[in-house]
C-alpha cells in the first residue's frame, strides 16, 4: 500500500533524471552544420521531449531543399551513432541532484515506479547511470506509435504498472511531456521554469525539491 493518495509515479528520463540535452545538442549541431542548416541552443530547447524523427523534421524545416525519406533516415541514424558515442562516457556522476533520493522516497512510500521516455537510448542511459533496477516498468520507446504530447506513452506505463491513470502522477521537464501527462489524465509535476511549464499542476526547479503529492 502506498502512503500517498497516488499508487504510482511515472518519470521522464532526459532532463529530469539526467541532463542528456547537451549531448543531443552536440549531435544535432554537427548534423545541422553538415547540412548548412541553422541550429542553435535556443532551437535545441524546442526539441526537448520530441522523438528522434520529429526532432529531425523540426531541424530540416529551415533547410533550403527537400529531403527524401531515405535521406532523413540516414541523417537520423548518423546523428544517433554520434549521440551513442557521447553517452558511452556517462556514469552515475551524471545523475541530476536529488534523482536517486526521489526514486528511493517513492519506493519507500510504496509507490510503483515507471519510466516513460521517448528515447530509444533510454535503456543504455539507465544502465550507464546504474539505476535500471529502480523501476518496476520501463516503456520501450520502440513500441510506442505516437510520441509526446500524445498520452500513449504515459497510458502504457500506467497500464503495465496495473494502476489507473488517475492514480498516477508524472514528472516531466518538457512542455510536450507535461501535455502528455495531462492528456493521460494524471497529475503533473513539472521540472524547470513555471513560466514555461504552464500546464503542470506544480513546478519544481529540480528533483532536489521533489515531494510526493
x/- map, 156-175, Mg ion, by CB under 5 A: -----------------xx-
Nearest CB to Mg ion, comparing residues 15 and 165? 15
Is residue 53 within 8 Å of residue 72, measured between CB atoms? yes
Residue with grid cell 524547470, as numbered in its chain: 192
Active site residue 136: no
Which of 12, 33, 133, 136 is labelled catalytic?
A: 12
Number of residues binding to Mg ion, judged by CB under 5 A:
6
Q: Is 152 in the site for Mg ion (CB under 5 A)?
A: no
CA angle 89, 76, 96 (to 5 degrees): 35
Is residue 15 within 8 Å of residue 48, measured between CB atoms? yes
Nearest CB to ligand BG6, comparing residues 102 and 118? 118
Query: According to CB under 6 A, which residues from 31 to 70 bind ligand BG6?
Result: 47-52, 55
Active site residue 104: no
Query: According to CB under 5 A, which residues from 42 to 61 bind Mg ion?
Result: 49
Count H helices and E strands in the chain, helices first: 8, 6
DSSP state of 8: E
> In angstroms, what is the minimal distance from the CB of 202 to ligand BG6?
21
Residue with grid cell 539507465, as numbered in its chain: 126
Is residue 168 within 8 Å of residue 186, measured between CB atoms? yes
For residue 71, what is its C-alpha cell?
535521406
Known binding residues: 12-14, 28, 47-52, 55, 79, 117-121, 148, 172-173
Give the interface with ligand BG6 as residue ranges (CB under 6 A).
14-15, 24, 47-52, 55, 80, 117-121
Amino acid at each position: 500500500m502506498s502512503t500517498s493518495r497516488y499508487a504510482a509515479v511515472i518519470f521522464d528520463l532526459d532532463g529530469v533524471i539526467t541532463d542528456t540535452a547537451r549531448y543531443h545538442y552536440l549531435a544535432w549541431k554537427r548534423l545541422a552544420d553538415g547540412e548548412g542548416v541553422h541550429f542553435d541552443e535556443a532551437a535545441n530547447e524546442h526539441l526537448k521531449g520530441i522523438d528522434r524523427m520529429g526532432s529531425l523534421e523540426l531541424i530540416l524545416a529551415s533547410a533550403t531543399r527537400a529531403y527524401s525519406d531515405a535521406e532523413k533516415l540516414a541523417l537520423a541514424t548518423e546523428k544517433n551513432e554520434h549521440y551513442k558515442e557521447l553517452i558511452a562516457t556517462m556514469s552515475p556522476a551524471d545523475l541530476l541532484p536529488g534523482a536517486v533520493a526521489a526514486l528511493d522516497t517513492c519506493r519507500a512510500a510504496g509507490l510503483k515506479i515507471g519510466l516513460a521516455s521517448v528515447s530509444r537510448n533510454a535503456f543504455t542511459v539507465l544502465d550507464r547511470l546504474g539505476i535500471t533496477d529502480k523501476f518496476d516498468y520501463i516503456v520501450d520507446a520502440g513500441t510506442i506509435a505516437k510520441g509526446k504530447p500524445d498520452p500513449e506513452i504515459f497510458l502504457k506505463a500506467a497500464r503495465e504498472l496495473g494502476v489507473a491513470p488517475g492514480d498516477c502522477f508524472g514528472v516531466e521537464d518538457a512542455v510536450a511531456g507535461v501535455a502528455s501527462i495531462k492528456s493521460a489524465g494524471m497529475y503533473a509535476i513539472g521540472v524547470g521554469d513555471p513560466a514555461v511549464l504552464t500546464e503542470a499542476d506544480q513546478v519544481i526547479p529540480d528533483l532536489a525539491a521533489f515531494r510526493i503529492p
